[in-house]
Amino acid sequence: MAALLRSARLLKFSPSGVLQITGTKRVGPSLSRLYSGAIHSGTRTGVCSRQISPASQNVSSHVWPYTVGCVRSYTVATQEKEANMAVRSKQAQQFDWALAKLDSSVRRTGRITKTLLLRIFHDICRAGYPSSNQALLLLRSCGSLLPEIRLEERTKLAHHMWEKLQQLGAQYDVSHYNALLKVYLQNQFKFSPTDFLAKMESANVQPNRVTYQRLIAAYCQNGDIEGASTILGFMKSKDLPITEAVFSSLVTGHARRGDMENAKNILSVMRGAGMEPGPETYVSLLTAYAEKGDMDGLKKTLETAESADCSLMDRDIMQVIFTLAKSGHEQYLPEMIERLRLERNYIPDAMNLCLSLITQGLEDTAFQVLKTMPALQSENSDSPQMGSFFLRHCVNMDTAIEKITSYCKELKESDLHTSPLIFTLSCALDAKKTDMSLKLMKILKEQDFPIRPHYFWPLLTQHVKDNNVSGVLEVVKSMQQFDVSPDVDTLNKYILPVFSDLEAAQQALEGTGVSLESEGFLSAKVRSLAVNNLAELYTLLSNSSDPSLDFNVFRNSLSMGFRKSSDVESMVKITELWYKDKRFCKGPSKPTEAVSFFLYNLIDSMSAAEAQAQKDKLRKYFNQLQTQNIFISVNIYRGIRNLLESYHIPELSKDVFALVPSNNRMQNSSLPAVATENESKVLALERRLAELKAENKPLDFVLKQTIQAVCAEENLQRALELKQQHEEEMTAGCYATLINLCCRQDNVEEALNLKTELSRKDSSVVLDAGKYIMLVKTLSLNGRVDEAVEMLKEMKEKEVVLNDSHVGMLFHLLNSVVIKGGPSAVQQLQDTIFALGLAKPSANLCSPLITAYLNSEDLSGAVDAVQECQRLYKYLPRLHDILVGLVEKGDTDLLQKAIDFVSQERGEMTMLYDLFFAFLQTGRYREARKIIETPGLRAKPGRLQWFAEKCIFANQMETLEQMVDMTAKLFECDRDELYSYILRLCKETNDWKKAEAVWMKMQEENVIPRERTLRLLASILRSNGQEVPFEEPETWYEQVVTTEQVEPATTFTPAGNITDLQNRLLTLCKKDKTKAAYGMLKDAHEKGVAVSAGTYDHLIRSLLAEGSIDAAMAVKDIAASHMPGFRLSNNANSLLIITLSKKDEAKDALENLKSMLQAQNVPSKLTIIRLVQALGRKGDVAAINEVQSLVAGLGTNLNLSNMLFINNTALAHIKSGDVDSAVELLKDVYTSPDSKSPSMSFVFRRIIEEANDTALDKLSAMAEQLANHFAFYRPVLDLFLQLLDNDKVEDAKLLLARCNALAEQKDVLMSYVSQKAQTPGQVGKINTLTSLIPNFAGKDVLYSYQMKCHCLDKDLSAAKALHEQMQKEGIVADELSLKRLAVLYRNAGEPVPFIEPQESWKFYADKLRANVAKAQTTAEE
C-alpha cells in the first residue's frame, strides 16, 4: 500500500470519479455522539468530537515531518516483534483499576488529567511488563481527552509512552497503530501517511479498514484530496465498506482545499450511494463554513440539517463555536452561543470547551461560554464558586494578569464566585508562579486584604530545595514590600535552611528589612542553636533580659540537639533552667510536667541502635539530673522504662527510676505498702509477705513474686530459706523457679530434691519443657547421663510438648555435653531424644555427635558416625569438617572410604564438590584444580555460594580468590556472581587495591557485570577516594540496552525462530510444564540464544509458583548474562518472597522485601501476609514489627488488617514460649477504647492445629474473661467456631455451657454458615452448629444454605430429603434453592418434580439479597 501511495503521487485523480460509489449503505450514527468527551482542536475522530479543525496549508503532506523535532528519532514500531505475554492476574487487576479510573473520569467530566494519566503510566511501568491492553489504554488517552494540555505536548507524551512501553516489552498490533493515528488527528500532528504505512509494513502489522479511514482523514486534514482518493480507491478494490466517517473527512478535505462547492456536493454523493448524511457529516460541513467565516452557509446548513430531521446536540454546536473562535470570527459567536439548548450533559461539555479555548489562548471566548453555565448551577450553595476551573487553567496557561483580574471582578460582581482573586492567588502559589503571585498579592493588598507569611511558603520551597540563596532573599524582600515579617515557621523551614550558619543568615538578611530583634527571629535563632550549639543556647536562655519564649517553640529542635550533642553538662543546665524557670511555660502545664514529657519524647525519638550507642551519655545525663533535684512522675518513668526495654538497654531503668520522688516509688497495686527510700524491691516484698502472714491471708501470689525476685538476684540460699519458711504455701510455679535457679548454679542435688518434693506434693504437676531440658543438661554436665536419660523418658511419659525454641535448647544441650561427656554421652542422649520422638532428627541435632569425635581427633569414629546418620536419618552433618581433617592428616584410606560413601549416597558430583572444597580449605590448590577440571562437571551455584560465604565470614581472601580462579572454565558458572563475592570481602576489609585488580580480571575474562556488582565496586573505590573507571548505573530503566551492546559475541538466530522459541516457552508455562520450559531455555542459552525480558520473567514466575527457587534464580542469572539491566518484575519479586515464606526461609524473604522496597517497588497484599505469617511461625517478633514499619512507610494503602500483625506477633510470642506476652497483647487490643472487636480466629486455629494445649488454655481463659467480665464476645466466639472446625465438638459444647451469650451472636454465626456453604463437604459443620444452637437463625435461611451445600456436594438424595422436610414443615423454598435443586435433578437424569424458576442465577441472587436487606431494615425500624 505504501508503494501504491508513492506511485500515486505522479498521477492526478478526479475527485468526482472516485466519489461515484455504489452499493454502499449508511452504517448508522457514530457512537461517539453518545459519549461526552473533551472539545479539542483536532479532528472529528476524537472521543466526543466530529470536527476537523484548520491546519496550516503550507506544510507538505508528502513527507515525514522532519521539521518537527519531537519525532526525529521517533520509531513507530520495533524491527523485531516480541512474543505476547500472557495476561497475569495482577496485571489484569491493574488494567481493570486503570480502566475504571479513566472511565470514571471521562464519564463524570468528559476528560482526564495529565496527573492521573501519568500516575497510571508510571504504575504500569513499575509493575514490570505492560500488557497490550494497558498500552492501548494509555495511547488512546493522549488526544482530545486532555483538553488542558497543548497539542504538541499531547503528541510528545504519546511518543514517550510508545517508546517506553515498547522498551518494557509491550506487543503492538494494528489497534495500537490506529490509536496512534487517532491521537495524531486529534492533536493536528503533521506526519506522512505514506511513511506511517511503511513503518507498519516493516513491523509486519497489516492495516485494516480503520487504518485506511484515519489515513484518509489525515490527508483531508491537509486538503490533500489526491492522497485521500488513492486510499479510497484501494478500499474500493478490497471491497471495504465506505462509512460516513470517510464522507465527512472528504467534506473537510475539499473545504481545506478551498473547494466549498465539492465539499457541499459530498452530501449529494452520499445520498446517491444510498447513505443519508448524518450529524457527523453536517458538523464537518458546519465547521468548514466556520473556518471560512461564512455565516450564511452556516445558517443554511443548520436549516438543512433540521429539515432532514437530523438533530444536532450542544456538543456539535460547541465544535462550531470552537472553530469560529480559532479562525478569528468572534463576531459570530453570540449568535451560535444562543443556539445552545443547555442539555443535560451541558456542564461537562461546556467546561471542556472552555479548557480547550484557554489552552489555545482564546480566554475571552471561553469566558463567554462560562457565563452560560450558571443557569444550570445549584442555587442551594451559600458560597458559589463558579469558574474555579476557569481561573485555575488561566493561571496554568500564563494568561495576562490584567485579563485574569477582569474575569475575577466580573465573577465577583455577578455573585458567581465569593472570592475569585484569593482562589486565583492560591492557584498561582500552587503552580509556583512567583511574578503572577506577587502581582495578585499587590492587588489584594490594595483591596485591604491581609497578606499572611504562609502565602510565601510555596514560593520559597523550590529555592530552599535548590539551595538558592538569592532566590530566597528576593522572596523575603517581596515580603517586606507587603509589610509582612517572616514568622518562626517561615524562618526555620523556608529561609534559614539555605544558609550555612546563623551568622551568614544574619548578614544576608540585614539588607532585606527583616528585623533581627523580632520574636520570630529570636525563636529561629534558638531553634538553630538548640540543634547545633547547646552551650551558646544556655547562655542565651539564661539571660533574663531577653524576651521569654514558650518552650514548645523549640522543644523538637532541642530534642534533636540533645541526641546529636555530647555536651552533657549543657544538656543538664538547659533541663534545669527549663525545670525551674517559669518563663518557658506559657500554657497551663507546669515546668515539671513539661520536663517529664520532654525526657520521655527524647528517648522515644531515638532508634534502638541510637539509644544503645548513647547509653553511657544517657546514664550520665540522668545521674546529673538527679543531683540537680529534677524529678519525673511514676507514669513517665514507666513509659521510659518500657522504651528502654524495647531498645534492649533495661539497665538504664534504675538511673531513670532515681528521678522518681521517693514517696512515689512503690505505687503498685500488688505492693500497697510504702517502702522507705533505701528499701529494695526484695525487702518490700518480704515485708508484705510478713504482713499477709500476720493477717492470716493467702500468700501464694506474693510468695511467688518474692521467690522470683530473690532468684533474679541469684540468691539461692535466701530462696531456699523462704521455701522452708512457707513450705505449705509453696506452689508449682515457686518450685519451678527454684529448680531453674539450681540448674543455673549447677546445684544438681538440690534441683532433684526440689523436683522430688514437688512430685510428692502433687504428682499430676508437669514442669514445662524448658525446665526439664535444664535439668537434663545439668545432670549430663555432672556426669549423670543415665539419670538425664531417665529424665528424658519422664518427659515422654508426661507428654511434654517441645516447640522450635525447645529443639534449639536440645541442640545447645548436646553441644555443651560435647566437652565434658565426649562422644558416648552425646550418642546416648541423641539416640534417646530421637527414639522417644521428642524431636525430629535434623542435621543440626546430629552435628554435636560429629563435633565430639572431631574434638577428640577420632576421625575414624567421625566417619562411622556420619555414615550412620546418613543411613538412619539421611543427613551428613559436618562432612566438610571431616574431609578437611582427613586431608590435613593425610589419611588417604579413610578419605577414600568417606568419599566413596558420599558418592554412593549423594552422587558423584556432590562428592567432587565436597572434595574440591576440602582441598581448597586446606590449601591443596593443585589437587583442588584437578577436581574442578573433571570433565562433565557443572556449576552448582548453591554449593559455590555456600563456600564463598564461608570464606567471607572467615576473612579467607586467598582461598576465595583461588576458588574463583579455578572455576573460570566451569560449565554454566556465573562469573559475575563469583567475582561479586570477592568484592564483598574487599568491602568488608576496605581493600580497594584488591577490588581494582578484580575489576581488571573481570575485563580480561570479558565478564559482563551486573548493576549491583558495578555499584559495589564503585562504592569501594569512592570510599577510598579513588576514581570510578566506569559510569555507575543508577536505575534499571535508564539503560537502553540493544542486542548488539549486550551480546557482541552472540550467535544470532532469525527473529522468527526466536519468536517461535518464546511462544513455545510461554505455552509450556501455561500448561504447567515448567521443567520442560526450563530445560529448553538452558539449551537455548548454551547456544547463545536470548529471549525477551518478558519471557524470562514469565518462566521465573512459573518456577516460583511451583516452589522451584533454585531454578528460578538460575533463569534470572541467565537473563542477566544477556541483559545486565534485567530485574525481576514486581510480580516475580512478590512470588519470590511468597515462595521463600512458604519454605519457612523468612529471613531471606524479609531481605528480599527490603530490596524490593529500596527499588521503589510495591509488594502485593498476599506477599506481606505470607511473610508475616512465616515470621510468626519462626517466633520472630522483632522482624514482624520491622515489616509493619516498612509497610507503614510505603505511602500506598495495601488494605492490610492491623490484626495481621497483632495475631502473628501473638503467635510469635507463643512460638518463643512466652504465652503470657501473647495474652497481654491480645487483651490490650480487645480492652482498648477504640476496639472494633477484631477476629483472632487465626491464632486459635494455629494453636489448635499445633496441639499447643498450654497456649490454648491461657488464651481460652482470656477469651472467657473478656466475654464474662467485659462483654467482648468475639474472641470466645472465634474459639468456639474453631473448635467446631477442628471437630472438637465436646469442647465446643463445654465452652457454650460456660458462655451462654455465644448463642446471641447471630451475625457472626450466620457469617460462619455462609462461609461454610461456599465449599463442598461442609454441610456437617453447619448441621453440628444448628444442633448446638438451634434458633440463631430462621429455618428458611438455614435450609437455603443447607440446600446449597447439598448441591455443591452433588448429593441428590440429601437434597431431596431436605426439600421434603421443608414441605412438611410448611417452609417455602426460595427460587435460588429451587433452581439449584432442579439442576441437580437434571444432572442425575431425573425429571424435575416442580416448576423450575426461569430467570437467571443472578436475578434470583439479587432478589434474595434485596429481600434480606429489606427484612433487616424492617427489623431495625
The Cα 335–Cα 242 span in angstroms is: 35
CB count, 10 Å around CB of 1195?
6
Sign of the four-CA dihedral 67, 68, 72, 77: negative
Quote the CA–CA distance of 674 and 709 in Å, as a whole number. Answer: 18
The amino acid that residue 351 corresponds to is M
- State which amino acid sits at residue 1082: K
Question: What pLDDT, on the 0 to 100 scale, is given for residue 681?
Answer: 66
670 residue type, one letter = S
Sign of the alpha-carbon dihedral angle for 205, 156, 1162, 1235: negative
> Residues near 1219 by Cβ (< 8 Å), separated by ≥ 6?
1213, 1254, 1255, 1258, 1259
pLDDT for the residue 93: 53
Residue 1029 CA to its chain's centroid (Å)? 36
pLDDT of 358 = 94
User: Which pLDDT value is given to residue 1261?
Assistant: 86
Distance in angstroms (rounded) separating the CA atoms of residues 851 and 867: 14
In order, the DSSP letters of 236-291 are HHTT----HHHHHHHHHHHHHTT-HHHHHHHHHHHHHTT----HHHHHHHHHHHHH
Quote the CA–CA distance of 822 and 850 in Å, as a whole number.
10
Residues 6 or more apart in contact with residue 1055 via CB below 8 angstroms: 80, 81
d(C-alpha 61, C-alpha 220), whole Å:
10
Residue type present at position 757: E
AA letter at 1226: L
Can you name the residues that pair with 938 across neighbouring β-strands?
A: 971
For residues 1388 and 496, give the distance between their C-alpha atoms in angstroms, rounded to a whole number.
84
* H or E element in which residue 615 lies: helix 615-627
Q: What is the distance in angstroms between the CA of the first residue and the CA of the last residue of the chain?
A: 73
DSSP 860: H
Grid cell locating 1059: 519468536
- Cell numbers representing residue 725 in the block: 519458711
Q: How far is residue 496 CA from its own chain's centroid? A: 36
Q: What is the DSSP string of 484-532?
A: ----HHHIIIIIGGGSSSHHHHHHHHGGGT--TTSHHHHHHHHHHHHHH
pLDDT at residue number 1104: 85
CB 320 within 8 A of CB 290: yes
* Cα 1278 from Cα 1258, distance rounded (Å): 15
Q: What are the average pLDDT values for consecutive 10-residue runs of the chain, which has 1421 residues?
A: 44 34 35 34 37 33 30 30 38 57 72 87 76 79 91 93 86 85 92 89 86 92 90 86 89 91 90 87 92 90 86 87 91 89 80 92 91 59 72 92 91 86 90 89 87 87 84 85 80 80 77 69 76 83 68 76 87 84 62 80 83 86 88 84 79 82 51 35 75 74 80 80 81 85 84 85 82 87 86 86 80 81 86 88 88 88 89 89 90 89 87 92 90 83 90 90 88 86 91 87 70 86 82 43 33 52 81 84 83 84 85 86 79 86 85 79 84 88 85 71 86 86 83 74 88 86 80 84 87 83 81 86 86 78 86 88 83 82 84 76 69 47 36
Q: Check: CB of residue 1385 under 8 Å from CB of residue 1357.
A: no
Predicted local confidence at residue 9, as pLDDT? 39
pLDDT at 107: 65
Alpha-carbon span 260 to 247, nearest angstrom: 14
Q: Show the cell assigned to 451.
A: 497578606
User: What are the grid coordinates assigned to 506, written together?
Assistant: 544574619
**Whole-angstrom distance, CA of residue 190 vs CA of residue 222:** 9
Say what the pLDDT of residue 1233 is.
Answer: 64
pLDDT of residue 1080: 87
